[in-house]
Amino acid sequence: MILDAVLFDLDDTLYEQCRWLDGAWRAVAERAASWEVDPAVLDRALHRVAALGSDRGGVIDTALHLVGRDDVPVPPLLEAFRHFTPAHLEPFPGVRQLLEGLAARVPLGLVSDGEPAGQQAKLDALDLASCFTTVVLSDTLGREHRKPDPLPFRVAVCNLDVTPTRAIYIGDRPSKDVAGAVAAGLAAVRVRTGEWRQEPDDPRAVASVPTLEDAVQLVSRSLRSHVSVAG
């Protein structure tokens, strides 16, 4: 496979999302103090609920119920979550060097789900935006186009002016990242990092590797030799 572009997921692929969530839940808990909720107690409850799946929805509602404060309005707390802007996020070790080295050879793209302002704030806090030729935040296309919908992947390869079969996507979650990329006609490499690292390889990517470094090395070898990443 000769590749003309490499695309990446953001959360739990380029950095550990739980680091961002720690700050976001703290911001929610501190906002709840306006209703005389103990921030430390609510913060623990938020972490406990989110540990069951951070994207399941209703985390704030459930945490308030756990601490016996169903009377507290959720919308202001949800706004605190959505508007949390970290000053700095640390990528996984070596990520910047890996991206810069790869970007010197082919254009890079980013495809990510989530509130656009929040996702852009994460990218800014990671200081990685300059590595990408295109950034596609799926919610700007409509929440119904979140991964595994193929549209954001198709927009990204169109922005890069490459055909899907000449691009590959690197992400951590098979049911979203791999499934969406494959549906759009891209190849995919799965990295077993972050919250979903125990999720089965279903659907299967061309490779499932422990770290982003492993994934980039695999893709780089393919670029050098012009052979299939599947071996």
pLDDT band at 1 (very low <50, low <70, confident <90, very high): confident
- H or E element that contains 225: helix 212-225
pLDDT band at 110 (very low <50, low <70, confident <90, very high): very high
Length of the chain: 231
**Structure confidence by residue, pLDDT tens digits, 35-55:** 999 999 999 999 999 999 888
**pTM over 0.85, yes/no:** yes
Q: Report phi then psi at 138, rounded to 5.
A: -60, -30
Q: What is the mean pLDDT of residues 82-97?
A: 95
| CB distance 42 to 29 below 8 Å | yes
Instruction: Identify the pLDDT of residue 54.
Output: 84
Rounded to the nearest integer, the mean pLDDT of the chain is: 94
Q: CB within 8 A of 88, min separation 6: which ones? A: 125
